[in-house]
Amino acid sequence: MLRFLISRLSQGIAVIIAVIVLTFLMLKAAPGSPYDKERGTSAVAKERLDELYGLNKSVPEQLMLHLAKYARFDPGPSDRYKGQSVTDIIASSFPVSAAFGLPALLLAIGLGVPLGALAALKPGSLEDRAAMLFATLGICAPSLVLGPVIAMTFGLKLGWFNVAGWYDSDDWVLPALTLGLIYAAYVARLTRGGLRETLAKDFIRTARAKGASEGAVVFRHAFKLACLPLLNFLGPAAAGLLTGSFVTEIVFQIPGLGQHLVNAAINRDYALASATAAFYAAMIVVFNLLVDVVQALLNPRIGFQQS
């Protein structure tokens, strides 16, 4: 298992470095600089700012200096938010994104898994059709559409929650509901497909022939294998939900990490854009590693392989 973890962590570190490099090069290839939108900045002042942040050096030199900062675990100050470090910006915005991302993930699992299992156990029934109708609607409805509908229903008409902003302790409810319903649709379809496929396998028929109860067949034998495709989906999905959804944060005006990532790219904030992309890549690596470990524990035939 130790060799497995070392191998996966080495691959993950390589992925994070590649993300940092590619993000930096793509931002450099785009026209403009962090100071183009600032009014009244003289050419002399821009030259001094470029010298201060090392923007007057060649791209390879800037890239090496950029990587050296990450080697010291210090991405440095933001190019646009004066007096704020990139680490402080991420540390303040990530909890906001996670505050509605984690409930959205729990809602997606808590709603999608039972619906998918019910549909798989009763194929062709009314329950199956209703569950798959919900899943299809959830997949087809983007957060840009579902978010305003939920805001109008629970915010404007019923007046239960704030329509936008991050002021009260329950402002996480509407964005979490928006993302949770959308991801629950994917979870339901994956659960149904995995469980239906597993229930048709030979070892399930053998278990039933030996007199095992239907509950034992489903939960003790079938569900462990049926959830493997779902786990593959939940790894990157969890990372995406916890680090924020840009569209949902825009709809509900939430100051989360997703907005910082897009705004940093637009404003050519090289340090912040690269750091947020690297943070997201690190989350993907961590959750995928957890998924690999859980899959190996659930299915001994997979094992802790290094490939």
Task: Supply the pLDDT for residue 110.
Answer: 92
Task: Supply the pLDDT for residue 174.
Answer: 92
Q: Is the pLDDT of residue 120 over 70?
A: yes
190 occurs within a structural domain: yes
Q: How far apart are CA 277 and CA 269, in angstroms?
A: 12
Q: Is the pLDDT of residue 179 over 70?
A: yes
Number of domains in the chain: 1
Q: Is the pLDDT of residue 222 over 80?
A: no
Is the overall model pTM greater than 0.75, yes or no? Answer: yes
Task: Supply the pLDDT for residue 105.
Answer: 92
67 occurs within a structural domain: no
CATH number of the CATH domain containing 167: 1.10.3720.10
**Whole-Å CA distances, 45 to 33, 38, 204:** 13, 11, 73
119 occurs within a structural domain: yes
- Least confident segment among 44-48, 160-164, 235-239: 44-48
151 occurs within a structural domain: yes
Beta carbons within 8 Å of 279's beta carbon, 6+ residues apart? 90, 94, 243, 257
85 occurs within a structural domain: no
202 occurs within a structural domain: yes
The confidence band for 39, taking pLDDT boundaries of 50, 70 and 90, is low
The confidence band for 108, taking pLDDT boundaries of 50, 70 and 90, is very high
Q: How far apart are CA 241 and CA 126, in angstroms?
A: 31
Question: Structural domain of residue 196, as residue ranges?
Answer: 93-298
Task: Supply the pLDDT for residue 202.
Answer: 74
- Tell me the Cα Rg of the chain: 24
Task: Supply the pLDDT for residue 176.
Answer: 92
The DSSP-derived string for the chain is -HHHHHHHHHHHHHHHHHHHHHHHHHHHHSS--TTTT-TT--HHHHHHHHHHTTTTS-HHHHHHHHHHHHHTT---B-SSSTT-BHHHHHHHHHHHHHHHHHHHHHHHHHHHHHHHHHHHHSTTSHHHHHHHHHHHHHHHS-HHHHHHHHIIIIIIIS--S-SS-S-STTTTHHHHHHHHHHHHHHHHHHHHHHHHHHHTSHHHHHHHHTT--HHHIIIIIIHHHHTHHHHHHHHHHHHHHHT--HHHHHHTT---HHHHHHHHHHTT-HHHHHHHHHHHHHHHHHHHHHHHHHHHHH-TTT-S---
Q: How far apart are CA 258 and CA 265, in angstroms?
A: 11
52 occurs within a structural domain: no
Beta carbons within 8 Å of 276's beta carbon, 6+ residues apart? 90, 257, 260, 261, 264
246 or 89: which carries more pLDDT confidence? 89
5 occurs within a structural domain: no
- Least confident segment among 44-48, 111-115, 137-141, 147-151: 44-48
The tokens describing 130, both together, are: 């209703």
Q: Kindly state the average pLDDT of the residues 281-288.
A: 88
